[in-house]
Structures are given as C-alpha cells and as structure tokens.
Amino acid sequence: MGMFDLVIVNARVVSASDIVTCCIGVKNGKIRTLVDSFGDEEIQSARVIDAQGAYVMPGGIDAHVHLCQDLKTGPHGLGGACSDNFETGSKSAAAGGTTTVITFATQTRAEEDKSLLDVIKAYSARAEATGSYVDYGFHIIIVRNDKDVLQKEMPILRKEWGISSCKLFLTYETQRLTDSQLLDVMYEAKQNSMTTMIHAENGDMIQWLTDKLESKGMVAPYYHALSRPPLVEGEATNRAIALAQLIQNPILFVHVGSALGAKNVRRAQTIGLPVYAETCPRYFHLTWEDLKRFHSPTCFENSKMICSPPPPPDTSDQEELFVGLENGTFTIYSSDHCPFRYDHPHGKPSGVLEDPKSMEGEQYCEGDELRSLLARKEGAFRLIPNGIPGVETRLPLLYTGALAAGRITPQKFVELTSTNPAKLYGLYPQKGTIMPGSDADLVIWYPDDSFKPFNLANSMLHHNVDYTPYEGMKFVNWPRYTILRGKVIWMEGEVQGKLRDGQYVKRGPSQLVRGVSKTTQDPRRVASWLYE
C-alpha cells in the first residue's frame, strides 16, 4: 500500500566509492530510492529506523564459510565434525552484520561421490533441513579430475544451480590435486566461466617438515606453525599462478596469510593476470605467539588456534598484509569460519584421541574425562582439525582493527567485505551495494561516539563453538541492525530474524574479470591456441 515498507533516515550511506548522508527507502525487499529527506505522507505506513548519523553499509557477504561440511582434512581423512549447521552458522552471521554466506559443498574421493551434481544436491538438502537466517550459496570443492563428469556437469552447475566458483587444494592428502589434475580442472572451469579458488600450500613441504618435526618429538599444537612456514604458501602461490597463466583462467587465492604469498599475488596482478586474493581476520589479529597462548607451549589447548595457513610468525608480516589490504592486492576479506569444538571428541580433541602415542593406556572418552585427558596430553598437531570460528566477528574485527584505527577508509571496508565478494562471485548488483533495485541487505552500525567499547566473551556469540580466538579483545563498534531484503534480522543485540528468512542465491559469472592483457596472451608464451 504505502510507498515504502521501511525507511532509514540520518544514514551515512557508504558504498565502495562514496559516502553520502541521506535517507533510504525500501519496498518489497529492494532498495527503492536514496533521497535527502522524505515527506510525512511518503513514509506514513513505513517502519522508520533512525541511523543517527552512523554508517549504513551493504550487508556483509562472507564468501568463505564452512557449515554442515564433511571436513576430512586430516592425513587419514579423519578430520573433525563441523560444529555449525546452517541454523547456528547463519544466526551467527546475522548477529555479525553478514547477510549472505557462500559455503562449501565438497566432493570426496569415494567412488559414489563422483557426481558434482549429487554433491550439490546433498549439501542443498543439509541447508534446507534447518533453513537459514541469511541468504546462502555454494562453492563446489573438486578433488578429482574426471573429465567426463566435469564436461557434463559444470555447465549444469553454472546454468541450473548458479554456481560459478570451484575450489581446488594443493595440500591435504585426501583433497590435493597434482599439477596436471589442476590443469584439467582449471581448463574446464575456464570453458564454463567459473572462478577457480585455490588453497595454496605446498603439501609435500608440509608432509616432509611434519615428518621431521615428529622425529624430533615436536608434536604439540604450536609446531603446526613450524610445519607451515611462509615459504610453503610462497611456493604454492607461485606455482598456481604459473598454471593459471598457462590456462588463462581467473584464480582467487583463499586465505592468504603471508607477506610472501601477498607479494606473489601482487606481481601477477602487476603483469595483468586475473589473479585475486582473499585474506582473513586471523592474519591481522593473531601470530605464532597465539599458538602458545594457553599455559605452556606444549599445552594441547593451543589447538584452539590451529588453522591453515597459520597466522604469520610476528607482527612485521601483519604490517605488510595491511599494505596489501589498503593497496588492492587483497580483493576480499572473508572469515574462513571453520568451526570445531574443544569440548567434543570429534572437535579439536581428535588430535589427542586419534594419536596412538598419546593414547597409550587411555580410553576414548567425553565430558569431564575428556577434559582431564586433554589437560595431561599434548596430542599430535598432524591429527588436529584445522580451522577456527569467525563468521560473527569478521566485520567487527575489521571495524575495530582497521577502520576505526584509521588504516582503511569506510569505502575500502565496504569494498572488501561486500562489493568485491559480490562482483567476484557474480552477485552484483543484486547484492554488494546500496542503490535502487538492489536487495535491501544492510548493516547499520552505532554512531561511534555513542558506543561504549566492550571486551568480547564467547558467550556473546551465536555460533556452536565453545571458544573464540578473540576472547577478551576490545571492540569499538558492533552491527546495531542487520537487515536482509528489507527485514530486520538483528537489532541491538537480539536476533529478530527467523530460520528460512534466508534464501538460496544463484550466481552469475565473475564481474571482476575483464580478460587477460595482450602481453600475457602471447601464444609463444602461453597456450592460447587451446581456445582457437
């Protein structure tokens, strides 16, 4: 009936390029208008939110989230149980200002898991089983190079499912592809305008270093970092860039955590290759020191900080990563939310329970018995599931650590957390910006001067994980409202949305890719004849 369902007044509206103080009118879930002011009649039947001059940004798009996933990252394919499903994970996203998550659906090497379409259907059923508080999509993880399957199914994934990105691994025994297998999948991805996401760590270097560490008895969680020095990412990024240049397909490096990796990405970008990079909060807020945070360096509780690649050795790398955040080397900033519990036998404790050496004479156990076992053991880092939670803290950490600290502009904040993920993964301009016709996905912050800084406690978060790496950290702002397609789903500390508010989103091809430059297409240097 009325012109608008929702209006937001006194908004400092931020896009990836501009900041303007205005009012936003929302109708049927879409942004309808941006204006100086509304007349009383225009807004009489609308809900009115006064932003009080605070930043209003496009809702966060977290393009790297693991929910309800089989996470067989361990060398024996054991791994751990992903503790967040779509219910808890998406609620946590909403509470942290995120309105869209792109999660992973993963193929395995099991014979019955050859079909990518079956994988997607299975994961889609997992999402539908609970519903989601925020919009969601899938990246497909491909762990085999069955050409018949790729040729037949990739076009269907693109057209029917709107899946325009696949992820490939250079490490983890159960997932990694050889160079020629990588070329096979990259080639088919290129034919289908799919962006290839790469987990770039050299699996052989990790394996070799792990064996050496183990032979010296260096098996406590802290040594996980030593098994993955920055060179491991340095080598793998270089190699993947060379492979992608040969095939001439766009690639996105997920979770780049080293200055060396960032430098390699930058070099490729400088010669005009469609190479993109993602980084994550942990690389700006944690270092190797945090892997010794609990009690002693050999204490198993430090497994709470284990993720791959690990955080950088010290703060000097963080400074270089900040440069990359400011200067465009990093295209997107995602959480890599990968939730494992500490109080659950299939969470971090599998690093003790699955280690025959630690377990000599001990029994598989849970609850208090498990806690007492973990207090006595150091476990084996090789067997600890890799990953830390963070879907809810992603935007607040960037706000406190970079925006409020004066290290990035509000526009850069929006670019990294919303606009670029939307463009890179084919959601723009439906999402990722505030303009007429776009989905009314919004995050409204508190006015900086009225927000009382607080120290984070895990009990404030909505994920199904029993810790946060950022416990006790001071935050200077937090999303006040999260709005999904015109509906308030989070307001002043309360979840207001409902399961099934979130919808599956189909994506198009990447809108960042503009082909490769002439100099990098010289057929004497790359295989451009492949496509003639």
Ligand X SMILES: *[C@@H]1O[C@H](CO)[C@@H](O)[C@H](O)[C@H]1NC(C)=O
Region binding ligand X by CB under 6 A among candidate stretches 10-18, 176-184, 324-332, 406-414: 324-332
**C-alpha span between 32 and 436 (Å, rounded):** 5
**C-alpha span between 11 and 23 (Å, rounded):** 6
Report the C-alpha dihedral over residues 95, 97, 100, 106, rounded to 10 degrees.
Answer: -60
Residues 329-358 that bind ligand X (CB under 6 A): 329
x-or-dash pattern for ligand X, window 228-257, by CB under 6 A?
A: ------------------------------
Region binding ligand X by CB under 6 A among candidate stretches 227-235, 260-268, 497-505, 519-527: 260-268
Least distance (Å) from ligand X to the CB of residue 327?
4
* Contact present, 348 and 301 (Cβ < 8 Å): no
Least distance (Å) from ligand X to the CB of residue 513?
21
Least distance (Å) from ligand X to the CB of residue 283?
11
Rg of the chain in Å (alpha carbons): 23
Least distance (Å) from ligand X to the CB of residue 234?
12
Which residue's CB is nearer to ligand X, number 324 or number 390? 324
The DSSP letter of residue 159 is: H
Which residue's CB is nearer to ligand X, number 239 or number 263? 263
Report the C-alpha dihedral over residues 367, 372, 375, 379, rounded to 10 degrees.
Answer: -70
Q: Is 180 exposed, middle or buried (0-12, 13-18, 19+ CB in 10 A)?
A: exposed
Region binding ligand X by CB under 6 A among candidate stretches 158-166, 259-267, 455-463, 522-530: 259-267
Among 323, 404, 476, 513, binds ligand X (CB under 6 A): 323
Residues 262-321 that bind ligand X (CB under 6 A): 262-263, 266, 320-321
**C-alpha span between 35 and 60 (Å, rounded):** 23
Which residue's CB is nearer to ligand X, number 21 or number 327? 327
| Residue where the block lists tokens 């463009």 | 423
Region binding ligand X by CB under 6 A among candidate stretches 21-29, 225-233, 258-266, 367-375: 258-266
Which residue's CB is nearer to ligand X, number 33 or number 269? 269
* Contact present, 439 and 430 (Cβ < 8 Å): yes
513 contributes a contact to ligand X by CB under 6 A: no
Which residue's CB is nearer to ligand X, number 68 or number 262? 262
Which residue's CB is nearer to ligand X, number 324 or number 351? 324
156 contributes a contact to ligand X by CB under 6 A: no
* Contact present, 105 and 139 (Cβ < 8 Å): yes
**C-alpha span between 60 and 52 (Å, rounded):** 21
* Contact present, 58 and 434 (Cβ < 8 Å): yes
**C-alpha span between 374 and 304 (Å, rounded):** 12
Report the C-alpha dihedral over residues 354, 360, 363, 364, rounded to 10 degrees.
Answer: 0
Total residues in contact with ligand X, by rule CB under 6 A = 9
Which residue's CB is nearer to ligand X, number 70 or number 320? 320
**C-alpha span between 430 and 452 (Å, rounded):** 34
Residues 353-382 that bind ligand X (CB under 6 A): none
By C-alpha distance, which of 63, 51, 42, 66 is closest to 20? 51
Q: How many CA atoms lie within 13 A of 474 on its CB side?
A: 6
Least distance (Å) from ligand X to the CB of residue 265?
7
Which residue's CB is nearer to ligand X, number 248 or number 279? 279
Among 327, 450, 455, 517, binds ligand X (CB under 6 A): 327
Which residue's CB is nearer to ligand X, number 38 or number 413? 413
Which residue's CB is nearer to ligand X, number 144 or number 263? 263
324 contributes a contact to ligand X by CB under 6 A: yes
Burial 338-351 (b: 16+ CB within 10 A, else e): bbbbbbbbbbbbbb
Backbone angles phi, psi at 458, to 5 degrees: -55, -30
Q: Which residue is nearest to ligand X (CB)?
A: 324
Summarize as ranges the residues that interact with ligand X (CB under 6 A): 262-263, 266, 320-321, 323-324, 327, 329
